[in-house]
Amino acid sequence: MTGPVHWLFGDQLGPAFLAPGDGGPHRDAPVVMIESRAVFRRRRFHRAKAHLVLSAMRHRAAELGERVTYVRADTYREGLAKAAGEGTEVTVRHPTSRAALGLVRSLAGVTVRPPAGFLVPTTDFAAWADGRGGEKLRQEAFYRWVRRTHDLLMDGDEPAGGRWNLDRDNREPPPRGGARLGEPAPYRPRESAIDEEVRRDLDRWERDGDVSFVGRDGPRLFPATRREALSALRRFVAHRLADFGPYEDAMLHDDPVMSHSLLSSSLNLGLLDPAECVAAAESAWRAGAAPLNSVEGFVRQIAGWREYVWQLYWYFGEEYRHANHLRHTGELPGWWNELDADAVTARCLSTVLAQVRDTGWTHHIPRLMVLGSHALQRGWDPAAVTDWFHRCFVDGYDWVMLPNVVGMSQYADGGRMTTKPYTSGGAYIHRMSDLCGPCAYRPDRRTGEEACPVTAGYWSFVHRHRGLLARNPRTSQAARGLERLGDLDELLRAERARGTAAP
């Protein structure tokens, strides 16, 4: 093979990664894709995630036809040697994990080109962050900067509609009395022969005892091709974006998706570009097809949160992975590792764990305020929690997991990313969902047979970290609240007795 050859990783599958210019490969450069078995052997992934990634890679290879050499190998190193041979010049876009970046930099003849698939170059972010004079980094400030510099939802120098943040109009509890929000169904793809082949391969790997998976692998629910991802984006913008804002934080037992876009796996596989997603949402608002609170909420998720998380992954450095400010060392129990939702009585946790088991996806609030909050309350090791999220979610990758789990959900970074630990008692879950009604526990009970494990877990967490919470103006009231609890000793005894048992 004559070079330069361009190497595409499995999360670099959209056209942006092969576009010439901005450090991209030469037009018509031969392409190499490597399916590494070792990746699947090292970690016990959700089967639906393994399926999605392999399906997307193989679909991309089929589209590229003769231009691509698709190699199945044990490791990337072996795969590249097989595909490109010694002495071949190879280019690759900046990978999305530190491990992969270390690998490509260590390989002779491989030139690393700038990343694609994000809005802001990491060097621009570093300059922005360093220029803040030691002030704490906050997503809101970053988001406004991105809006200005990318002219997103702006009217001249002002935010469209006059306000940067429309959260006040969003975050409503779900409408009472309805089991579902009543939105048009989200886009779901149709499987192809490639999916059948992937399923056969996964069955064989499992039978051979080579790899093992967790979770169920039903029909593929998320796009594996650019065409499918564009259909999903179009359907979301046309039919579901309008209601995105108000119910962004709400949960319904029978409606796991609500108005969420389900675009994260497509964005993270590189099938969609963030710029086209926010542009489509802005156009819908400018055409009068969706209200500003929903459009701003969606743009904030992508141009604000997603982008911020990507930047922090690189900015905070390798050590961030080991952060453990709260000194949590608990092991994840078996029922959690196995996604054994049926072992759990608490309806919120059992519902959400079942969603993860069955689909490898649940929306932001179940991740943060049910799953993450439970792990935080139980004091589980943040690195183990991060690994669990990475393996069990269809959209999980190292870059997106570290800030979201270590920082946002487990407060293991001591507040570099958020202003306070995110956890709550059952009252929050009750207000924001229909999950508590038929539950065996009562959200307002701290002790006794019907004590809500979320409420008791919350007070146990506050008690364990009362010193730290008392010093933070955003949580000092919670720490003071302990003084009002006449049943604290009984609560702490019951929580200790619960240990790692499924609540």
Q: Could you say which DSSP state residue 111 is in?
A: E
Phi, psi for residue 463 in degrees, rounded to 5: -65, -45
Contacts with ligand FAD in 373-392 (CB under 6 A)?
389
State which of residues 228, 395, 413, 495 lies at the interface with ligand FAD (CB under 6 A): 395
The answer to whether residue 360 forms part of the interface with ligand FAD (CB under 6 A) is no
**Which CB atom, from 202 or from 258, has the smaller least distance to ligand FAD?**
258
Side chain identity at residue 8, one-letter code: L
Contacts (CB under 6 A) with ligand FAD, residues 296-315: 298, 301-302, 305-306, 309
CA dist., res. 501 & res. 489, Å (int): 20
Two tokens at 56?
């997307």
Residue 446 and residue 460 in contact, taking contact as beta carbons nearer than 8 Å: no
Residue 300: CB minimum distance to ligand FAD, A: 8
Tell me the pairing of strands 110-113 and 154-155.
unpaired
Of residues 396, 421, 426, 457, which one binds ligand FAD by CB under 6 A?
396
Q: How far is the CB of 351 from ligand FAD (least distance, A)?
A: 16
Span near ligand FAD by CB under 6 A; candidates 216-224, 278-286, 345-353, 395-403 = 395-403
Q: Which residue from 12, 96, 261, 294 is in contact with ligand FAD, where contact means CB under 6 A? A: 261
What's the rounded Cα separation, in Å, for the pair 245 and 308? 20
User: From start to end of 148-219, where are the E strands?
Assistant: 154-155, 158-159
Stretch that binds ligand FAD, among 19-27, 347-355, 401-409, 468-476 (CB under 6 A): 401-409
Which contacts (CB < 8 Å, 24+ apart) does range 109-115 have?
Answer: 109/84, 110/7, 110/80, 111/4, 113/23, 113/24, 113/25, 114/22, 114/23
Using the minimum distance from each CB to ligand FAD, give the nearer residue, 400 or 456. Answer: 400
Distance CA 424, CA 455 (A): 7
Q: Which stretch binds ligand FAD (CB under 6 A): 48-56, 90-98, 359-367, 470-478?
A: 359-367
Among 401, 432, 435, 502, binds ligand FAD (CB under 6 A): 401
Is residue 245 near ligand FAD by the rule CB under 6 A? Answer: no
**372 binds ligand FAD per the rule CB under 6 A:** yes
Closest Cα partner for 142 from 160, 120, 158, 159? 120
Footprint on this chain of ligand FAD (rule: CB under 6 A): 260-264, 267-268, 298, 301-302, 305-306, 309, 363-364, 367-368, 372, 389, 393, 395-396, 400-401, 404-405, 408-409
